[in-house]
Structure 1
Amino acid sequence: MIQPHLKPRWLLGIILLGWLLAGAPLAHADEHRHADGRWLVLGGDIAETLAALDADINVVARDDTVLYPPEMAALPSVGYLRQLSAESVLSVRPDHVLAAGHAGPKEVLEQLEAVGLEVALINAPPSLDAIAEKVRAVGQLSNRRQTADALATTLNEKLDRLANLPALPPTRAMFIMQHSGLTPRAAGSDTAAHTAQEAVGLENAFAEMQGYHSVGAEALAREAPDIVIVSERGLAAMGGEDALWQLPGMALTPAGRERQLIVIDDQALLGFGPRTPDQLLSLRQDVEALLGITATAQLSP
């Protein structure tokens, strides 16, 4: 249970924890010592993992990427994960900072170390294989080892079920993360969205480009996606489904002609946190429904 208010303690000694998927166990993880005090959580996946473990720690603040669960999203924010300031962090008087490995800038973390703040970094690679180990790392720091082991096993079982599903018929998908003007911003390779598409058996129509890029009418017509996947926030930003199908070039695609659309929760699906395996199975179910395939994906055994 996350408790938003406890008696404050001032800053403790620094323990900087590195975590590698293939590496050794977390160093200096004294569970009972780390579970006390006031915690600042940085990173949506880390916050979701704490919530999934029902970690009984006193989280007093977060960063802007923490949007779930609602009780953490309602806490004060210290700013964006990658653009922190020491002043903002210290203003919430934390004893511990539990952060995703890409938190920064590095100079700010060094400033926090210099004043004696305890920081734990979890440097998990952005991959599905890393989810279970990330859960175990957070469980070790929050005195939830057994719960974390059980959850990690369950998450791996779900990913294994997904990997063993029958192949889909060749299906090209376009993943729109956000939208600017009349040009959708699509996911290419080397993105979490690309990983998600591959995991459910879809072909990324824009895999030849790397990262997220705006794509115009000519590219849409050329790559001809069969399905459009868009985040809830992205669809709202562009004005809803009708506005999506009116984008230049969209009517020239199979997806546009058939209005084949799947709307997803981008943080749950792409955050590579404990909600991701279920979200992938749900996405696979939605794809099967659009393609008229007998359901093969199940959310529970």
Structure 2
Amino acid sequence: MRLPSWLSWLASLTLLVWHIQGSAAPPRTVLIGSDVAEIVAALDGLEGVVGRDDTSQYPEAVAALPSVGYLRQLAAEGILSLAPERLIVAAAAGPREVLGQLEAVGVEVMRVEQGASLTTLPGKVRAVASATGRSAEGEALVAEIEAELARLATLREERPRPGPSAMFLLSHSGMTPMAAGRDTAGQAVIAAAGARNAFAGFSGYKAVGAEALVDEAPEVVITTRSGLEGIGGETRLWQLPGLAMTPAGRERNLVVCDDQALLGFGPRTPTALLALHRALHEAADATRHAAEEDCWRVTP
């Protein structure tokens, strides 16, 4: 692979930094993907970590690191400016060509192939633990995660009736709000929390009109903190066409969740799902403040 001259120069700089630091120091590491970064932090493995991607915002020790850009649109120049010895990258990281360029100049790229799924979360933790030399800590974290997922499954089984009909609303500033259908992270968290997806009739995320909202009649709206901000707040949410005519709109039945805790499919996701379950099924006791819960019911 023929490398651009600037890339060769940065690679030489990287090798010089390695030489100056010596081999005794932990490898200079850049973490790509919020799930990977959160797992490394939970394993107390941040020693030697020098950078992150834009999605990695938790905990504060990770957020304070310099960012190399968005995980799906990485650039070799920005990454090499941190003189890394290795990258630990999530399944969604790319482009693949950029990762290949980094490998070609001697940067180790450790890929964590398990994606956004609850079933693959224990395997993801083990993969990151192996990459960071913290297998024992990884097994302890897996045990905690599996215990919380088992508790969640028990809570679902203890409820003989179907859960509420829910709409997961995805929104970002400047975009049309969309409902989560099948084969989405929104569908996965609705099902895991023991509710029913009001829009399971289609696949992916789609904008839904007033008629569809009235027909499907969701009883509760689930959104994220940044999603609610993107819409313009709670008042603007209930002004979406047709939403006021649904059971959720009439009762102002809204649950808000921390974005990364719920949808990151990292070590905080099982705890967030337990909080979502409480918010959906235990309304009288589910109005805890966001500082205490990863998902909370908004009081009208």
Return the TM-score normalized by structure 2.
0.83
| Residue 182 (structure 1) shift | 9.0
- Supply the AA of the counterpart residue of 2:133: N
Task: Name the residue aligned to 1:207.
Answer: 200
Task: Name the residue aligned to 2:246.
Answer: 253
Task: Name the residue aligned to 2:8.
Answer: none
| Secondary structure of the corresponding residue to residue 164 of structure 1 | helix
Single out whichever of 177-186 and 136-145 deviates more from structure 2.
177-186
| Secondary structure of the corresponding residue to residue 186 of structure 1 | strand
| Secondary structure of the corresponding residue to residue 128 of structure 1 | coil
| Residue 117 (structure 1) shift | 0.8
Task: Name the residue aligned to 1:136.
Answer: 126
Aligned sequence identity (%): 51
| Residue 169 (structure 1) shift | 3.6
CA distance in 1, matches of 2:172, 2:110: 35
The one of 214, 225, 233 aligned to 1:232 = 225
Task: Name the residue aligned to 2:29.
Answer: 39
The alignment status of 1:268 with 2:268, answered yes or no, reads no
The one of 129, 152, 164 aligned to 1:162 = 152
| Residue 125 (structure 1) shift | 3.3
Alignment size in residue pairs: 267
Distance 1:164 1:243, change over 3 A: same
- Supply the AA of the counterpart residue of 2:42: A
Task: Name the residue aligned to 2:72.
Answer: 82
Task: Name the residue aligned to 1:63.
Answer: 53
1:60 and 1:92 in contact (8 A); partners too? yes
CA distance in 1, matches of 2:72, 2:18: 26
The one of 140, 153, 158 aligned to 1:150 = 140
Single out whichever of 79-88 and 37-46 deviates more from structure 2.
79-88
The one of 62, 68, 82 aligned to 1:72 = 62
Task: Name the residue aligned to 2:18.
Answer: 9
1:174 and 1:206 in contact (8 A); partners too? yes
CA distance in 1, matches of 2:48, 2:152: 35
| Residue 256 (structure 1) shift | 0.2
| Residue 185 (structure 1) shift | 1.2
Return the TM-score normalized by structure 1.
0.83
CA distance in 2, matches of 1:122, 1:284: 29
| CA RMSD between the two structures | 2.3
- Supply the AA of the counterpart residue of 1:207: A
- Supply the AA of the counterpart residue of 1:199: A
| Residue 195 (structure 1) shift | 0.5
The alignment status of 1:120 with 2:110, answered yes or no, reads yes
| Secondary structure of the corresponding residue to residue 177 of structure 2 | strand
CA deviations 1:158-206 (Å, max 9, x no partner) are 1011112123544110011215669521111111111110011111111
| Secondary structure of the corresponding residue to residue 277 of structure 2 | helix
2:90 and 2:115 in contact (8 A); partners too? no
| Secondary structure of the corresponding residue to residue 69 of structure 2 | coil
Distance 1:66 1:230, change over 3 A: same
- Supply the AA of the counterpart residue of 2:283: L
5+ residue gaps, structure 1: 1-6, 11-32, 294-298
Distance 1:284 1:242, change over 3 A: same
Residue pairs, 1:16-31, within 5 angstroms: none
| Residue 56 (structure 1) shift | 4.6
5+ residue gaps, structure 2: 1-15, 287-292, 294-300
Single out whichever of 184-193 and 251-260 deviates more from structure 2.
184-193
Single out whichever of 205-214 and 229-238 deviates more from structure 2.
205-214
- Structure of greater relative contact order (alpha carbons < 8 Å, 6+ residues apart): 1
CA distance in 1, matches of 2:24, 2:89: 14
The one of 285, 288, 299 aligned to 2:281 = 288
| Residue 138 (structure 1) shift | 1.0
CA distance in 2, matches of 1:160, 1:66: 27
| Secondary structure of the corresponding residue to residue 127 of structure 2 | helix
| Residue 276 (structure 1) shift | 0.5
